[in-house]
Amino acid sequence: MIKTALIFPGQGTQKSGMGKDLYENSSAARRVFETANRVLGFDIADMCFNGSAEDLMKTINSQPCIVTVEIAAFEALKEQTDISFQAAAGHSLGEYSALYASGAVDLEAVLKLIQKRAELMNKAAEETNGSMAAVIGLDNQTVIDILEKTENIYAANFNSPGQVVITGDKTAINLNLDKFKEAGAKKVIPLSVSGAFHSPLMKNASEEFKDFVNNFSFNDVNIPVYTNVDAKAETSGKMFREKLPKQIYSSVLWTQTIHNIADDGITNFMEIGPGKVLAGLNKKINPELKTLNVFDWESLTSTVNEIKEKELV
C-alpha cells in the first residue's frame, strides 16, 4: 500500500464559488454546509458560493468558509472511495481541517473553534498596525539573520525553500523591505492581509483563544497530525489543545513539516481545499513528492479515478 498524507491549505486560498459544485453533487458535502450554516449562525454556503472577493478576504469570513469547504471536500471524497491515509497536516488555518480528518475533533467543535479564532484574530488585527510580506529568493537562514537584527518583524511562514513570509509592525516592514532586496531577494511582495498573523502582535488573541479552547475536548488519534508550531507528528488530544493557541503567534514551519512527513516514509500527498497552493510548494520542497488535489467536483472525480487505479486505499 502506498502511504498518503492529507494536507489542507490556509487563509488566502479563498475564492467566490468555492465548494458550490461539491454541494450540488455530493450529499455528504451538502450535509457539511448545512451543519455549518446552523452552527455558525449565518448562511455560509451563500458566502462561499456568492460572496465578493472583498467579503471573502475578511478574516471573520475567510476562515470559516475555507474550513467548511475543506471538510466538505474531504467528506465528498470519503463518499466516493474508501480512501486511507497515514498522516495529516494543514497550513495554519488548514491545521483545523487536518485535526477533523484525523478524528481529533468533530464537525461542530471545529466550526466553533474556527469562528472564535477568526473573531479574535480579526480583533487583534484591528487593534494593531500589522502587515505581512513574502520574501522570494532568499534561503531561510539569511532571512532569519536579517530578522534577528531588525525590531518588530518576525518570520510567519517558512513555506518552501526560497519563500518565507515575514510579519509584524507595518511601519517596520515598510522601512526594512530593502534589507531583504539588498541581501539578494528576487522579490519582496507586500500581502493584502488585515494584520500581522503569526507574530507577537497576535499574543492577546492567543491568550483569549487559550481560554476558549480549554472548554473543548480533543481526542487522541491514531493518524498523526504534523503540527505547525514544531513540525512534529502529534497524536495526543491534550497536546493539540496546548498547541493551537500558540499557533496563532508562532511561525508556520511548513517546509520542515513536509520534510518530516517524507522522512517518515510518506511521499504521496493529497491536498484538499481551494486551489493548488500546497501542491506547488511541495514541488519546491521536494520534486519527488506526488500531490493529488481535491478542490471541486472535477478534481475530486479525477483523484478518485487515480486512487482506484493506483490502489491508494
Contact 253, 198 (CB under 8 A): no
Residues in the chain: 313
Angstrom distance (rounded) from CA 38 to CA 34:
6
At residue 196, φ and ψ (nearest 5 deg) are -95, 75
| Identity of residue 304 | V
Concerning whether 92 is annotated as a catalytic residue, the answer is yes
Concerning whether 259 is annotated as a catalytic residue, the answer is no
Angstrom distance (rounded) from CA 36 to CA 108:
8
Residue that has been written with the C-alpha cell 493539540 in this structure: 240
Q: Which of 26, 62, 91, 92 is catalytic?
A: 92
Angstrom distance (rounded) from CA 28 to CA 22:
9
Cα angle, residue 151 at apex, residues 150 and 155 outer, rounded to 5°? 75
Contact 105, 219 (CB under 8 A): yes
User: Any residues with CB less than 8 A from the CB of 142 and at least 6 apart, and which?
Assistant: 183, 184
Contact 60, 122 (CB under 8 A): yes
Angstrom distance (rounded) from CA 15 to CA 50:
9
Angstrom distance (rounded) from CA 13 to CA 192:
12
> Strands 4-8 and 87-90, how do they pair?
parallel
Q: Which of 97, 131, 160, 198 is catalytic?
A: 198
Catalytic site residues?
92, 198
